[in-house]
Amino acid sequence: MPTNAPGNIQPSEITPRAVYLQRRRFLQVAALSAAAGWLPLSAEAGVKLTTTGKSPLSTSEPPTPLKEITHYNNFYEFGVDKFSPAQRAGSLITHPWNVAVEGEIRRPNVYSIETLMKLAPLEDRIYRLRCVEGWSMVIPWVGFPLNALIRQVEPTGNAKFVEFTTLYDPEQMPGQRSPVLSWPYVEALRLDEAMHPLTLLAVGLYGEVLPNQNGAPLRLVTPWKYGFKSIKSIVNIRFVEHRPTTTWMKASSREYGFYANVNLHIDHPRWSQAKERRIGEFFKRDTLLFNGYAEQVASLYRGMDLKKHF
C-alpha cells in the first residue's frame, strides 16, 4: 500500500489514538535518552555524557568557567596563540575516529572512539591544570583511567613506556603547515605513570563531549605534569621499550624534559615556576609541588634527582 501517496494522510488518522500517543512517547523517550548519552550514538561536541558521578580523586576547588576553558587554549595544530584554537578547530573531523593501540602488547587493536567511550565507566574528574607558561585552571573532565585500556591490551615485559601521537592532517589541522613544532605531536609516559589511577583518558568536559579545541575526541590528562604532557586528539597509543623523544623535548631539550612534573623549585630557563596565575584570579598564587598531587604521585619518583629528570 503506497502510504506516502499524495493526500497527506496523517498517522493519527489510521492508527488508534492510544497506540499513536504511546508510540510518540516512546520516540520522545528514545530521543531524550540519546541526547542524555544513554545511547552514545555520536561523539559530537556538546552531546551530554552519562557518568558514574564525581570521582573522589576530584578537587573541591571551583571549576574554571566553560567559556574560559574553551577560549584560552594551547593547541598549536590550530595556531600558536590562545585564541586561534576556538576559532579554527571546527575543521577537525572527530567522527569517525579510530585509535590504533600497538607495540609491546599481546592484544593490539584499532578502537573506534565509540568503543573507547564504553571501555570503562565514564567519571567526572575535577583536576587542576598547570601550564608550563605559568597559568592554571580547574577543569571538570569526563573520562576513564588509562589503566583500564592498558589492562585490556596486556603489555608484554618489554613495555616500559607508552607513546601517544596526535592526528597528522594539515587539511584539518592547518597549524601543522607551519614548522613551529615537528609534527605530528608526540608525548609519552613511563608505564607506571600511565598506570597511575590519576592518569585519565578524557572524552568530555563539563559533562559533555569534548569541544574540538580541547583535544576532541580523545586526550590524555596527567594533572601533576605541565599541560603540554596532556596530548590532544590522539590517534595512536604505542607501547615501547625505549624512552621516546617527545615533541617539546625535540623543540628544546634544555627547557622541556621528559617528566615535566610541576615543580616550583625548578625554573624554566626563561621564567620562574614558583607562582602561577589561576585564570579568573588577579594576583598570582603559589605553585604546589606536583601541582598539589604530591601525596598520590611522589612515590613514582622516589630516589630520582628531580633537578636532573625535570
Partner 1 sequence: MLGWVKAVVFFLSLAPLARLGWLGVHGGLGANPIEFITHSLGTWTLVFLLLTLAITPLRRWLHVPALVRLRRMLGLYAFFYAALHFVPYLWLDQFFDWAAIAKDVVKRPFITAGFAALLLLAPLAATSTTGMIRRLGAKRWQRLHYLIYPAAIVAVLHYLWLVKQDLTQPLFYAAALAILLGYRVAGHFRRRWRSADT
For residue 84, the minimal CB distance to partner 1 (Å) is 11
Q: Which of 72, 144, 239, 290 binds partner 1 (CB under 8 A)?
A: 72
Binding mask 19-58 vs partner 1 (x if CB under 8 A, - otherwise)? ----------------------------------------
Cβ atoms 217, 142 nearer than 8 A:
no
Nearest in space to 203 (alpha carbons), one of 135, 145, 148: 145
Peptide bond into 16 cis (omega under 30): no
Q: Which of 271, 285, 299, 309 binds partner 1 (CB under 8 A)?
A: 271
Residues in the interface with partner 1 (CB under 8 A) total 27
Q: Provide the grid cell at 15.
A: 492508527
Closest to partner 1 by CB, 44 vs 267, is 267
Residues 128-187 that bind partner 1 (CB under 8 A): 133, 135, 178, 180-181
Nearest in space to 138 (alpha carbons), one of 30, 6, 278: 278
Q: Which of 41, 267, 285, 309 binds partner 1 (CB under 8 A)?
A: 267
**How many angstroms separate the CA atoms of 74 and 136, rounded?**
12
For residue 196, the minimal CB distance to partner 1 (Å) is 28
Cβ atoms 72, 279 nearer than 8 A:
yes
Q: Provide the grid cell at 171.
A: 587539511
Cβ atoms 182, 244 nearer than 8 A:
no
Residue 190 binding partner 1, by CB under 8 A = no
For residue 208, the minimal CB distance to partner 1 (Å) is 19
For residue 71, the minimal CB distance to partner 1 (Å) is 6
Q: Which helix (H) or strand (E) holds 18?
A: helix 17-36
Q: Which stretch binds partner 1 (CB under 8 A): 34-42, 67-75, 113-121, 150-158?
A: 67-75
Nearest in space to 292 (alpha carbons), one of 224, 197, 222: 224
Q: Which of 34, 57, 59, 82 binds partner 1 (CB under 8 A)?
A: 82
Q: Which residues contact 10 (CB under 8 A, 6 or more apart)?
A: none
Helix, strand, or coil (residue 162): strand
Closest to partner 1 by CB, 156 vs 272, is 272
Number of Cβ within 10 Å of residue 219's Cβ equals 23
Catalog residues that contact partner 1 under the rule CB under 8 A: 64, 67-68, 71-72, 76, 80, 82-83, 133, 135, 178, 180-181, 251-252, 267, 270-272, 275, 277, 279-280, 282-284
